[in-house]
Amino acid sequence: MNNIVVSDEEIQIVQKAVLGDQQAFAQLFEQYYVPINRYLYFHMNSQQDADDLTDIVFLKTWQNLSNFKLNKGTFKAWLYRIAHNQLIDFYRRSSLIDSIDEIPETEANAMKPENLTIAKQEIQQLRTALAQLDERSRSVIIHRFIAGLDHHETAKLLGLSEGNVRVIQLRSLKKIKSFFMED
Amino acid sequence: MGERKDCKEFEKIISGSQSSNHQLVELKNTAEKIKTTSMQYTISENEVKFKWETLMQQIKLHEKSVTNSENLRFNNKTNLNQQRRFAMAWIFIAISVLSLGGVGTVYASNDALPGDVLYPIKIATEDIQLFLSDEEGDVDLLLDFMDERLEEMEIMKEDNNLEGIDLALESYQNQMKQITNLMTKVKPDDPVAGDALQAEVQNRLEEQAQRMLNINEEKGEQLQIQEQTQEHIETQEQLKSGQDDLSTEEIENGNQNNTGSEQDNQQPEEQQSQQQTGMQFSVSLQSYQLTQEGQFIMHFSMNAAQSGEILVRVNGIEYACSSSQSSLVCQGQAPTDETVHIEVIDVNNGSSLLDQWILVSSNDSSSTNNDNGNGQGGSGGKQH
């Protein structure tokens, strides 16, 4: 389901972008803007914050492209690492790192679909389901099934062992399944 | 053990293998549901294109602002042209409002730190606030912004980010200059309110100076911060002398000869030197003035904040004094004697902080330094 396949074409594009080719970077931007925005959106309480942070992630990516090493992992994993770091930074600054553990259900429900540009009830339901999990479990699920990173990449990014990621993933899926069934 | 087995089997299922374990198959369906539901969250191609164009603009702007910032730092040209800053501010605000979804970006920039992409927007937003506020409001705002700069420097210090400290300090210096200029222009209708405003500014600056010293002490090597602390003390002294008896016009015109400005200018160097070397608490007499009502007003400067109680005696009579972070002001009925004996005592341990004799001429009501008992030196009387 989440096998990471990086095409030769993407490798070439990344190589060009690393050398400062703006067109190549535009292609990467087009490919990854929505996934990164989605990844941040499911992590954060506000779509506006997710949008702002996505912009910052790509600016940082452009500024640090010369540091990317193809032999040390995929561009995608590197990009998600930047996004993850920005997310941590954001919560550190807004002193919300603790409160993210407890996104209250009422708050999630209070975000009325008509007030959202992405007014999908299912999305809201998924956000509420994710809010039932603790921060680490939620991160594992988002990295595995929303960002589509593999066990190795998820484990590396979150500082966990792969075995740990597998166990957390299974337990979290059980909780989410129960939530969906109750709902 | 069972959970590990389940984990392994779940991996196979998720990779596409068939399984008779219904519970795990259902979990795979849950995972699929998460994936498909999250995919419904998307952004239109046009919006992504717009975001790309915005990013390109931001990159250009950011590169320009970094270049400007570096030039300013390395050439030590910290005094940014006000008009240019306003122009930059409007450009930043306009672009952010147009491109990044408007108010949200400006709001998000409130948390920005030096070196962050949104930091220039934060500073620009402050300039806009100042632009929209009246002069008295500007004083409050500037003090708040300067507090914010100090907070940023403290965070940067924790992160060991020297460049960040530099950036915040640069902005702090600008705001310090602005507030110094502003204080010479603000003329509240009510003189009492004017005094209160000056006292408040002085107190806030003293608090900030202390914070600056703390940053400096812990960093150890921040020469620039030391210079800023020095500038800080000078500003306080300037404000203090303004609080004594100067009209605002006189300060503006640099006409400070009636309060011994020469001494005031020398004093910060002494204070700085004491703070850097001995760190021993000391008090020195800055001025002894007589009012027409026969009252004396004495100003002392201290090289650090005194937490304990301080007692001041004038010719053996004790007086209550008001002290702040680095100054002490005493007022009372002036002795009729030409020779005045001034003692400052630390009540906690009874030690003498100052023991000084001065001569006060009855003809011209001037006070003169005669003897400096504890070797502080350099704090003679002043004409008034």
Domain that holds residue B251: 46-258
Q: Is the pLDDT of residue A129 over 50?
A: yes
Q: Tell me which H or E stretch contains B373.
A: none
Residue B265: C-alpha distances to residues A86, B200, B235, B366, B378 (Å):
47, 22, 10, 20, 12
Contacts for B71 with CB less than 8 Å, ≥ 6 apart: B77
Q: What is the pLDDT of residues B304-320, one digit of tens each?
A: 666 567 788 888 787 76
Between the two ends of chain B, the Cα-to-Cα distance in Å is 90
The alpha carbon torsion through B141, B143, B144, B148 (nearest 10 deg) reads: 130
Q: Is position B301 within any domain? A: yes
Q: Tell me which H or E stretch contains B341.
A: strand B339-346
Q: Clarify whether residues B286 and B185 are in a common domain.
A: no
Q: Look at residue B239 in the predicted model and tell me its pLDDT.
A: 59
Q: Is position B201 within any domain? A: yes
ipTM attached to this prediction: 0.83
B336 secondary structure, DSSP code: S
The boundaries of every CATH 1.10.1740.10 domain in chain A are 1-97
Q: What is the pLDDT of residues A101-110, one digit of tens each?
A: 434 333 343 4
Residues of chain B scoring pLDDT < 50: 68-106, 219-223, 243-279, 363-384
Q: Look at residue B129 in the predicted model and tell me its pLDDT.
A: 76
Q: Look at residue B308 in the predicted model and tell me its pLDDT.
A: 65
Q: pLDDT grade, residue A146 (50/70/90)?
A: very high
Question: What is the rounded CA–CA span in Å between residue A12 and residue A21?
Answer: 11
pLDDT above 70: percentage of residues in chain A: 81
Q: Is the pLDDT of residue A122 over 80?
A: yes
Q: Clarify whether residues B22 and B117 are in a common domain.
A: no
Q: pLDDT grade, residue A8 (50/70/90)?
A: confident
Question: What is the rounded CA–CA span in Å between residue B9 and residue A78?
Answer: 29
**Interface check B151 vs A, CB under 8 A:** no
Q: Look at residue B287 in the predicted model and tell me its pLDDT.
A: 79
Q: Clarify whether residues B115 and B222 are in a common domain.
A: yes
Residue A93: C-alpha distances to residues A16, A87, B112 (Å):
34, 10, 8
Q: Clarify whether residues B343 and B231 are in a common domain.
A: no
**Interface check A95 vs B, CB under 8 A:** no
Q: Number of structural domains, chain B?
A: 3
CB contact under 8 A, B40 and A122: yes
Question: What is the rounded CA–CA span in Å between residue A99 and residue B320?
Answer: 50
Q: Clarify whether residues B302 and B193 are in a common domain.
A: no
If you classify domain A1-97 with CATH, what class do you get? mainly alpha
Q: Which residues of A touch B56 (CB under 8 A)?
A: 22
Q: Look at residue B231 in the predicted model and tell me its pLDDT.
A: 62
**Interface check B66 vs A, CB under 8 A:** no
What region does A107 belong to: left with phi over 0, alpha with psi -120 to 50, or beta? alpha
Full strand arrangement of the beta sheet holding B283-290: B283-290, B295-302, B327-333, B321-323
CB contact under 8 A, A34 and B43: yes
Domain of residue B360, CATH code: 2.60.40.10
Q: Is the pLDDT of residue A59 over 60?
A: yes
Q: How many Å lie between the alpha carbon of A120 and the closest alpha carbon of chain B?
A: 8
Full strand arrangement of the beta sheet holding B339-346: B317-319, B310-314, B339-346, B352-360, B367-372
Q: pLDDT grade, residue A173 (50/70/90)?
A: very high
Find the closest chain A residue to B30 by CA distance: A177
Q: pLDDT grade, residue A9 (50/70/90)?
A: confident
Sign of CA dihedral B65, B123, B86, B177: negative
Name the more confident of B153 and A71. Answer: B153
Which of B10, B26, B38 has the most A C-beta neighbours within 10 Å, making it the best mutation to test the interface with A? B38
Q: How is domain A113-183 classified at the CATH fold level?
A: Arc Repressor Mutant, subunit A (1.10.10)
CB atoms within 10 A of CB B336: 9
Q: What is the pLDDT of residues B273-284, one digit of tens each?
A: 444 444 466 788
Q: Clarify whether residues B51 and B28 are in a common domain.
A: no
Q: Which residues of B touch A170 (CB under 8 A)?
A: 3, 6-7, 10, 27
